[in-house]
Amino acid sequence: MSDIESVNKGFAVIPQADPSLSPDNPMQIDKPYVGRFAPSPSGPLHFGSLIAALGSYLRARAEQGQWLVRIEDIDPPREVKGASDLILKTLEAYGLHWDGAVLYQSSRLDDYQARLNSLLAEDKAYYCQCTRKQIQAMGGTYDGRCAIRTAKHTAGAIRIRNTLAIDHFDDELLGPIRVEPEFAAEDFIIKRRDGLYAYQLAVVMDDAFQGITEVVRGADLLTSSARQATLFNLFDDNAPKWLHLPLACAEPGMKLSKQNHAPAIDLKAPQASINAALAFLGQAPCDIDSVKTMLAQAVSQFELSRIPRQQEIILAPGA
């Protein structure tokens, strides 16, 4: 199970109508818009990936902002040789041209480790040797036992000492969101037992490093946003705004994904896929012309309010 999958498994996201739920973590205010698309190189882009890429691109361009691309290549066992180059080639074929240089997470390993060293030295993180089997015996949520040991572990996974337990945030599309309190309070992993840096640590550090003002991505990462808000607060960094798009699913609870062998999108005839993604996002179709003019039209008529306010959409067979 990947970092991201383990974050979301078994925890409900509870939308709230109360506008007073806005979290206390610092937010970007009155800064030029900077968005991003951050795929992992575990395979080619599929229709679900296109929705995330196009949605984040349209939002950034409609806000006259920058759109960055980051390759999240810090999980070698899940990576496919050549996938990074293919992803970038696909984005170019679809006219989704990014600003600046592509950031590869693999170039940031020393920065991640330096932050971990500081957290350990300040007793804001600690080593844990609990296995998945042990955590299942705790009821599925880690109970913090390694944090209170008299003799501290000096190896294993590294967990954040979670003193903030942020369990709510505002989503630009879905409104106020609250996650389960037990999930919010857990001391979660920021470096894995196998020595790989955890998604939550890397994504927060990189969003801060790149000055991201809004994260536009799929609703499968709703619960991740609560944990990331916790880390932004702990690190005293400006948190971005959040905007979670509906997931494209083959059936309820089964999103299109590389793990589920979703087919790659067509590089030779992108116009049809672009219009299909626009329709999924509730946007008006564009004239079938060059990709460049299609995207310019899509940006000019983009309306956030037209995106469906739901966590998943079931695709029709053969779509």
Which of 237, 244, 256, 185 is CA-nearest to residue 217? 244
Residues annotated in the binding site for L-glutamate, as ranges?
36-40, 72, 199, 217
124: three-class secondary structure by DSSP = coil
Length of the chain: 319
CA–CA distances in Å: residue 133 to residues 88, 127, 137: 39, 17, 6
Q: What is the distance in angstroms between the CA of the first residue and the CA of the last residue of the chain?
A: 28
Q: At what angle do helices 199-209 and 222-235 cross, to 10 degrees?
A: 60
Q: How far apart are CA 282 and CA 276, in angstroms?
A: 10
Residues annotated in the binding site, as ranges?
36-40, 72, 128, 130, 142, 146, 199, 217, 258
Residues annotated in the binding site for ATP, as ranges?
258
Cβ contact 204:229 at 8 Å: no
Residues annotated in the binding site for Zn(2+), as ranges?
128, 130, 142, 146
Cβ contact 66:100 at 8 Å: yes
Q: How far apart are CA 46 and CA 262, in angstroms?
A: 6
Q: How far apart are CA 114 and CA 128, in angstroms?
A: 19
